[in-house]
Amino acid sequence: MKKLSPKDNIVVLTGAGISAESGIRTFRDSGGLWENHRIEDIATYSGFRKNPALVWEFYRKRWEQSKIAKPNAAHYALVELEHYFNDSFTLITQNVDGLHTKAGNLSVVEMHGSLNRCYCTSCKHGLSMEEADAKQLIPLCPICGSYLRPDIVWFGEIPISLFEIENSLKKCDVFIIIGTSGVVYPAAGFVMTAKLMGAKTIAINLESPDNLTFLDEFYKGKSGDILPGLVKEWTGIG
């Protein structure tokens, strides 16, 4: 694709693939388990009610892993892209590790929540994991004393900022997908919305995504290898 105008409206969607290149393990394996746990046990609210200590142990480890993980070349390429487009750039991520913010992106929509936050199951008071003293077996709310839960969108729950995401997809000129298989909805359907509204659609992934038919361009491989070069083409910088 040729150089893009700074006036173009750009929306980027990232998935587990971009974080995997920073050493973040993808939760789900081919057997349908999340790191040897049944999804129902650690990624649903009913699982949390049944065994909150197990759920906290699981997400505490993910949080500790994310704290030491470092952004890779693809993350930094997206920072360059945001600097080029400024207010006409939106980054939507399915990841909860905070690596985009750590790299320097500002316009980040964390549709599945964040490992860096938690909130009260009763009064909904929100706080950072550091403030919550996440080392406790089951951290408690400092306001009302109820259980805190990780600020993660579990199965059966509604992703964050869906209305805002839909609006950004309807007005974008270019929609870029990075490191996602196109299987998990609603995110897998975003490319359809963008395409139907006239956007140019591009994807980078290790394997062909399930929604390949909605893509104008597909680049197979690691995003850290491919994206920096594409960003230079799109912006004419570097």
Cis peptide before 139 (omega within 30 of 0): no
Q: How far apart are CA 90 and CA 175, in angstroms?
A: 10
Tell me if residue 112 is catalytic. Answer: yes
Catalytic residue among 75, 83, 100, 112: 112
**How much of the chain, in percent, has pLDDT values that exceed 90?**
79
Strands 10-14 and 33-34: unpaired
- Once rounded to an integer, what is the mean pLDDT over residues 184-208? 92
Over 90: is that where the pLDDT of 191 sits? Answer: yes
Residue 135, pLDDT > 80, answer: no
**Which contiguous run of DSSP H or E holds residue 14?**
strand 10-14
Judged against a pLDDT cut of 70, whether residue 34 lies above it is answered with: no
pLDDT for 128 equals 95
Q: Do 117 and 139 contact (CB within 8 A), yes or no?
A: no
Taking Cα atoms as reference points, which of 72, 75, 66 lies closest to residue 130? 66
Reported as a pLDDT band with limits 50, 70 and 90, residue 190 is: very high
Identify the weakest region by mean pLDDT among 21-30, 40-49, 171-180: 21-30
Q: What's residue 27's pLDDT?
A: 60
Domains and CATH numbers, the chain: 1-24+71-112+159-238 (3.40.50.1220), 27-68+114-152 (3.30.1600.10)
Q: How far apart are CA 152 and CA 89, in angstroms?
A: 24
Is residue 165 predicted with pLDDT exceeding 80? yes
| 35 confidence band (pLDDT: 50, 70, 90) | low
Nearest-angstrom CA–CA distance, 106 and 118: 21
- Residues of the chain with pLDDT > 70, as a percent, come to 95
Indicate the pLDDT class of residue 33, thresholds 50, 70 and 90. very low
More confident site: 202 or 37: 202
Exposure on the CB side of residue 162, measured as CA atoms within 13 A: 10
**Cα–Cα dist 106/86, whole Å:** 9
Q: Which of 70, 15, 7 is nearest to 204 (CA)?
A: 15
Spatial strand order of the sheet with 217-220 comes to: 108-110, 89-93, 10-14, 174-178, 200-205, 217-220
Mean pLDDT over the full length of the chain: 92
**What does pTM read for this prediction?**
0.92
Distance CA 57, CA 126 (A): 19
Please tell me the predicted confidence (pLDDT) of residue 37. Answer: 79
Q: What mean pLDDT comes out for the span 31-59?
A: 86
Q: How far is the C-alpha of 49 from the C-alpha of 125, rounded, in Å? A: 18
- State which amino acid sits at residue 92: I
Q: What is the pLDDT of residues 14-29, one digit of tens each?
A: 999 999 999 987 665 5
